[in-house]
Structure 1
């Protein structure tokens, strides 16, 4: 099996694998997909596994920015992982995913995320459950009760506002110390903001993207950096309350709208889980944000069969909102004794999964003296608004 970069000549075969894996692809969607993919092929972000000259599997690495405790870093979003039905069960999926991890490292990404169609294959290459996309069902008339200050200026937005949207995300996610949300690269965002059936509004510190879905409203993105802007954007959605039967919105698990509603007795929530991998331990720890006022000095042992450079003892130090991970030798003192984690367990720890959960699931063993400090330093409620 040969794994290589895809070229434009391979895209018909990719579409065939996608059709066999996920169902029919309408012609207009196929053309839009081609227009988005072709410019990225020279970047080495689309891999194919070939059996002779026949495409057996494919996987794409999408360039994202992801925030962890308010600090942005590059992230490899893995999408479009497809294997021909006749090639399944031969280890082809694992082969291409191992190549994806190595390519993410070569591209300079220290972390990676994917939405799994199945879990075992991704766990086998170091990905672990970390966060989720939360979609809540709201009653339109409840949004109409949200009172606004009348001071927030909203305007319609489009593709030319892509850079401003990215700027808003950096300011809002940084100030809120968010963990997990992402931003598309500017070319992709420009295309997204050009979809004809979406309604888009921009404020100085927030924006809204929504659409009609039959008799319902679907909110893709609503990001706000202040209470006034949150009220203004949600109230705008609520202006359709006399027509819409319900509003389905992608939200943070503690989105302010859930406290703005006058009536909230039950939540109807759909959760789609995503998985996370640390590609480079040292770079990932250095690029992450941490709570100010929290200090950590602990040694952990990481085992990463796929990337030996991650395997070994790591001294984790956190102070003043920043962190470092440095390799350390065994037997260099009591401080060099600590918990042991698979790379899956380290990914989950990084994403805020409590040490008690990691120990209960077998992802973490050994010395527990630093567990509370590790929980405090890596505390997070990771979420995403996007699905890719």
Structure 2
């Protein structure tokens, strides 16, 4: 199988394989998909596996960032992984994912994230579960009264792409969030062109929501704000639809402030869409990440990464004053041993005790790493 970037004029050729993998794609839905794919196609980030000129597999690498304790880390968002039904069971998916990892490294991304359709395939090439996209349902009436003061808001469109990206980035940085992703300006422009979404921009906040498919309720796709005043105003705007929408389905952080603004909270049903993480360039990923302030930790590591050998070997990990370093060192028989799955889970804040009991981390003294990597990762985007 030859894996290469698709040319824009070849993109229609993936429609059939997408339909066979995910279901029929009506004409209008396909036109929208082609429009949204334009930035990645032009950047050479839509890939296909070819066998004798026939497309038998596809995958996309979005150019993104991911926030970790207030710092943005370059990220490859892996999406649209498909294998033709008649080609499944031959190792095509594993070959495709290995090729995409190499290309993510070539683009200079220290991290890669995906939403798995199957855990087994992605674990076989070093991915591990790290966080989730969380959805809750909130009575619309409960949101109508959360506002304290009026805030200057305006509708946002494609020409606001750069400002939207900046406002969202400042909000995640200030909150020292872990997990949310950021899109580049061309992708934001493409997303803000969608008529179905209602987008509002404040000086320190952004809201995107729409009606659900049956037009009986609202769905908040993203609501972020750096101040209480703007946070209340944006949620109250959603709540203003209480006369026609009984409920709001909202994508929120596990500790989203809105959950503490509501007057009443009873039983909450949370829908989680799990995502998986992979370190592509381990030293760069450790250095780019933010860490809890006031925490100091160190450990000798032995990493074994068959797919990305540059990550393999003996390392010294040091974390201090919110900074991390991973540097080559001599062999150490007492090193903490882990593969790419264990390294990804540790990076995402999974406690060392959990990793030991699952066999993802072995040997050495690693207890101090749990507070150093402490995090509750979440995302507000499904891709």
TM-score past 0.5 threshold: yes
Q: Rate the CA distance shift 1:129–1:172 in 2: closer, same or farther, 3 A.
A: same
Q: Give, in whole Å, the separation in 2 of the partners of 1:43 and 1:141.
A: 44
Aligned pairs (5 A) from 1:1-388: 1-150=1-150, 152-213=151-212, 214-331=215-332, 337-367=334-364, 369-371=365-367, 373-388=368-383
User: SS of the residue aligned with 2:270?
Assistant: strand
Q: Give, in whole Å, the separation in 1 of the partners of 2:147 and 2:102.
A: 51
1:253-283 Cα offsets, whole Å, 9 max, x none, are 0000101100001112100000000001100
Report if the CA contact (8 A) 1:64-1:77 is conserved: yes
Q: Give, in whole Å, the separation in 1 of the partners of 2:36 and 2:216.
A: 30
Q: State how many pairs are aligned.
A: 381
* Segment drifting more, 182-191 vs 217-226: 182-191
Q: Normalised by the size of structure 2, how large is the TM-score?
A: 0.97
* Segment drifting more, 236-245 vs 124-133: 236-245
Report if the CA contact (8 A) 1:66-1:182 is conserved: yes
Q: Give, in whole Å, the separation in 2 of the partners of 1:37 and 1:273.
A: 24
Report if the CA contact (8 A) 1:66-1:180 is conserved: yes
Offset, 1:38: 4.3
Report if the CA contact (8 A) 1:145-1:262 is conserved: no
Q: Normalised by the size of structure 1, how large is the TM-score?
A: 0.95
Offset, 1:13: 2.4
Offset, 1:370: 2.9
Offset, 1:337: 2.6
Q: Give, in whole Å, the separation in 1 of the partners of 2:334 and 2:43.
A: 42
Report if the CA contact (8 A) 1:304-1:343 is conserved: yes
Report if the CA contact (8 A) 1:67-1:73 is conserved: yes
1:59-85 Cα offsets, whole Å, 9 max, x none, are 110111111111002100000100000
RMSD: 1.3
Runs (5+) with no aligned partner, structure 1: none
